[in-house]
């Protein structure tokens, strides 16, 4: 029996990851060097601070950089791209479907609370979500299971009765360590990741109805 859906945010509800990498890649190219996609992807899902991109750029160019100019320029471009991005396919249907079915809904994100809550509010999605847990609420972010366990506790649902929706290897590891059925929905930045430890892999939530997904989760128990 599944009583709750717990969504990751970045890369699952909105594709914030492709523009994040893309705008950083532009900055590296501006400095005449390349940002390796596989290196960048290995840190996806782990939250801010797991990869010092400024230090990596300085190492690549062999000299100090003006971090503040880069931060302001890159951030402005990134936010513009995120704001213009649509919800990822199937997300709205799943949220509406969960409400119809009486399922609880949580978001467990390695990003900060202001980032997640702000986007949910601007997209009129906060009303579907009963609990938001972010890096501000835990000691360790993904791949540690703490975020998912905190989300389940907040929703008052046992972890083994939660279905987690993730997009990255770090997220899948966190969800499975928490004892949850985990479906991974890959995006352009995570499509090549090794995510074989997920219970199910999809290209988009729209590939399968919520009812069908719940049935698969129940059968797997």
- What order of strands is seen across the sheet that includes strand 4-7? 131-133, 104-108, 4-7, 162-166, 181-185, 200-202
Q: Dihedral of the CA atoms 149, 151, 152, 155 (nearest 10)?
A: 160
Query: 118 to each of 69, 83, 111, 121, 211, how far by Cα in Å?
Result: 25, 11, 12, 5, 29
Catalogue the active-site residues: 8, 10
| Ordered DSSP codes for 119-148 | HHHHTT-GGG-SEEE-GGG-SS-TTSTHHH
Residue 7 falls in which region: left (phi positive, over 0), alpha (psi -120 to 50) or beta: beta
Taking the alpha carbons of 130, 134, 137, 139 in that order, is the dihedral positive or negative? Answer: positive
């Amino acid at each position: 029996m599944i009583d709750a859906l717990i969504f990751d945010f970045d890369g699952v509800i909105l594709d914030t990851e492709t523009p994040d990498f893309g705008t950083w890649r532009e900055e590296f190219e501006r400095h005449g060097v390349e940002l390796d996609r596989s290196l960048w992807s290995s840190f996806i899902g782990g939250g801010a601070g797991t990869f010092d991109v400024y230090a990596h750029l300085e190492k690549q160019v062999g000299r100090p950089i003006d971090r503040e100019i880069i931060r302001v320029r890159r951030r402005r471009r990134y936010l513009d791209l995120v704001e213009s991005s649509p919800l990822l396919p199937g997300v709205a249907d799943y949220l509406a479907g969960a409400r119809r079915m009486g399922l609880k809904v949580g978001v467990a994100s390695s990003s900060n609370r202001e980032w997640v809550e702000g986007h949910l509010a601007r997209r009129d999605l906060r009303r579907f979500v009963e609990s938001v847990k972010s890096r501000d609420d835990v000691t360790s972010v993904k791949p540690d299971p703490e975020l998912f366990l905190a989300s389940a506790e907040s929703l008052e649902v046992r972890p083994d009765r939660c279905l987690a929706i993730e997009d990255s290897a770090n997220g899948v590891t966190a969800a499975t360590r928490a004892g949850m059925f985990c479906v991974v929905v890959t995006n352009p930045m995570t499509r090549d990741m090794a995510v074989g430890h997920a219970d199910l892999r999809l290209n988009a939530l729209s590939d399968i109805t919520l009812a069908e997904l719940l049935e698969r989760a129940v059968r797997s128990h």
